[in-house]
Structure 1
Amino acid sequence: MIPVSITSCSRGKSLYFEHFDACCIFLREGYSAEMALEEAEAQLAELELLSSMFPSEEEFVVTDQLAFAELRDYVEGVSNTLPHSRPDFLIKHKMDTINFKEVDITISCAYVSDYPQVLPEISVRCAQLSRAQQAQLHSDLNSYLLENCSGEVCLLSAFEWVKDNAAQYIDKSVSAVVPKKDTSSGPTQEAFTRLWIYSHHIYNKSKRKNILEWSKELNLTGFSMPGKPGVVCVEGLRTPCDEFWSRVKCLTWKRIMIRHREDIPLDSEDGTIDERVASHRKFTGFDEAIFDPHGNRGNHMDLGQLYQFLSEKGCGEIFQLYFGIEGK
């Protein structure tokens, strides 16, 4: 393939692509060299502001220094190559609530390529937050940012909002009443479940790590395909699968959904519960699946290879459910 470059007329800034198809993807998605530079400049300026406001590593940590260096080099003209990834970082804060003193709150942030035109990926972690209240906090925070910061840098606003509002979600977590299980109707029927999850994209390293760790913790098999779009399959007992989904959907996503769900009753089958579950599994273990990544950011997988992978596992029909076309 012949390298291709795009030049911004007003600034003379060029973007270099190793492959022509990567250039086409970039243009098809509505980008320009000028837009990319302006967005990168806004991201770097915000990072430098946050670094000056939170000088201690106990308050602010850039977790991907390589991405930060690539962003700086691109903005300062040291490199004409669009950064392959964008920085992710943590803002840490201690606060008091009615029920707790010095609660540790961590705001995990990850830039996406077209931020600030779209919201960054933000998640709030706190040991005292229930999952239900964490999900509500994320929803309310996103609504606030969409209403007040659309098209503008927003992480300082996000921090101030969390600092002002997190306590009420933490205290509601403590006061929430957990209903007792109704055992009068007998034991719950066991079932084998397989979830096919679709996400607009999966880039964030911490999310990818969570997906891998949670699947192993919950004894689920399957795979995760990062990039755009993102595909996750988990299979195992119904309760752990539902727990996995409840954790994943609480994270901040542009779009995520269960595209297809399979539930197979196990009570009428012979053998131990582990043997019955094993007989329905299509995957051994849980791994991140990478299929010849391409595109300027290396975030588009070869869907033909994905189809072959699914077909080998006896799941080829799922491809059409995800993408609306038959695989080849």
Structure 2
Amino acid sequence: MSYLEWAESQLAEIELLTSMFPTAEELEATDQLALAELRNYVEGSASAGSPPPSRPQFLIKQKLDSFILSCAYPSEYPAVLPEITVRCSGLSRAQQTQLQALLNAYLTENCRGEVCVLSAVEWVKDNLLLFINRSFSEAPSPKEESTSAQPPEVFSRLWIYSHHIYNKSKRKNILDWSKDLGLSGFSMPGKPGIVCVEGPQSACEEFWSRVKVLTWKKIMIRHREDLPLDCQGEGSRCVERIDSLRKFTGFEEAMFDPHGNRGNHMDLGQLYQFLNERGCCEVFQMYFGIEGR
């Protein structure tokens, strides 16, 4: 890749982050000039052989979770990792050092070659509680903590329609967010793009709130299903009930014989068969206005 392609990825990620953290209290560009120069570099006639003149730097502030991420882009990012530092006033120096080391290890193992600031934010959110007011070794696992939370009261299944899903970063976000939120379902990239997520209503709503703020030509919830769980106060029973209502095992990106000039179109007959095998073929007509076969 060239410096220009790296700069384009950087600018796209900054625009995504700005849409998700729209106020200065959430995202602060500490060097406005560097950001303006990056934009001019991408939009102008920059030479791919020379890097941008300066490095964008910004802070992501999560008041609810009590931490700040300080981020700086090397010219070759995302081919190389960004410089990300975690700051949390609720941690001792030793705990903060350990959290930083684990974050660096996570990014090194999972994020090289991909934009990853949002992944870093989500990782810190998921792991910060392991360090607050207790040592790392004594902390319960995230799974143990989640089972002690207030059990959900409604199971939801959202059928989302997009004019198209091509962008690799968006496709990765859809996969990562569904996994982070414990949702099952599938996404079908191409034109049109289809996403189905199912699980606790609050997790489905959080997924939709993240997805809908990305830049889309058109995206909507085409159909939704909401089913009462009738298991208030019984955490383990709610988990069993949710699992019994799922039509999908885990979450996957589903491809159905891609074709067309850019490989953007899927075989809708195979999509119908995929839905039929999971007992939800009726949504095919909701999406396309015709009965599948």
Q: Is 2:27 aligned against 1:108?
A: no
**1:188, CA displacement in angstroms?**
8.9
TM-score (norm 1): 0.48
Residue aligned with 1:290, SS = coil
Q: Is 2:165 aligned against 1:202?
A: yes
**1:303, CA displacement in angstroms?**
0.4
Tell me what 2:104 maps to: none
**1:123, CA displacement in angstroms?**
3.5
- Contact preservation (8 Å) 2:161, 2:193: yes
Residue aligned with 1:284, SS = coil
Gaps of 5+ in 2: 28-39, 45-57, 64-149
Residue aligned with 1:272, SS = helix
Q: 1:272 to 1:199 in 2, by over 3 A?
A: same
Instruction: Show CA shifts across 1:246-298 (max 9, x none).
Output: 11111111110000011101125886111010010000010000000000100
Q: 1:202 to 1:154 in 2, by over 3 A?
A: farther
Partners of 1:268 and 1:274 in 2: CA distance: 9
- Contact preservation (8 Å) 2:231, 2:237: no
Matches within 5 A, 1:1-328: 51=4, 61=6, 89-91=8-10, 107-108=11-12, 123-125=15-17, 131=21, 133=23, 156=43, 190-268=153-231, 272-328=237-293
Query: Which letter does structure 1 place at the counterpart of 2:17?
Result: R
Tell me what 1:104 maps to: none
Partners of 2:155 and 2:164 in 1: CA distance: 27
Partners of 2:275 and 2:238 in 1: CA distance: 26
Tell me what 1:177 maps to: none
Q: 1:303 to 1:268 in 2, by over 3 A?
A: same
- Contact preservation (8 Å) 1:197, 1:259: yes
Q: Percent identity of the aligned residues?
A: 62
**1:197, CA displacement in angstroms?**
0.3
Q: 1:90 to 1:305 in 2, by over 3 A?
A: same
Residue aligned with 2:263, SS = coil
Q: 1:274 to 1:285 in 2, by over 3 A?
A: same
Partners of 1:154 and 1:323 in 2: CA distance: 42
| RMSD over equivalenced CA pairs, Å | 3.6
Query: Which letter does structure 2 place at the counterpart of 1:156?
Result: E
Partners of 2:238 and 2:151 in 1: CA distance: 14
TM-score (norm 2): 0.54
Partners of 1:237 and 1:275 in 2: CA distance: 12
Instruction: Show CA shifts across 1:40-72 (max 9, x none).
Output: xxxxxxx99x83xxxxxxxx616xxxxxxxxxx
**1:130, CA displacement in angstroms?**
5.4
Residue aligned with 2:270, SS = helix
**1:156, CA displacement in angstroms?**
2.7
Partners of 2:170 and 2:210 in 1: CA distance: 11
Partners of 2:41 and 2:280 in 1: CA distance: 42
**1:320, CA displacement in angstroms?**
0.4
Partners of 2:176 and 2:227 in 1: CA distance: 25
- Contact preservation (8 Å) 1:193, 1:237: yes
Q: 1:268 to 1:274 in 2, by over 3 A?
A: closer
**1:155, CA displacement in angstroms?**
5.6
**1:124, CA displacement in angstroms?**
2.9
Partners of 1:205 and 1:130 in 2: CA distance: 18
- Contact preservation (8 Å) 2:151, 2:238: no
Query: Which letter does structure 1 place at the counterpart of 2:218?
Result: R
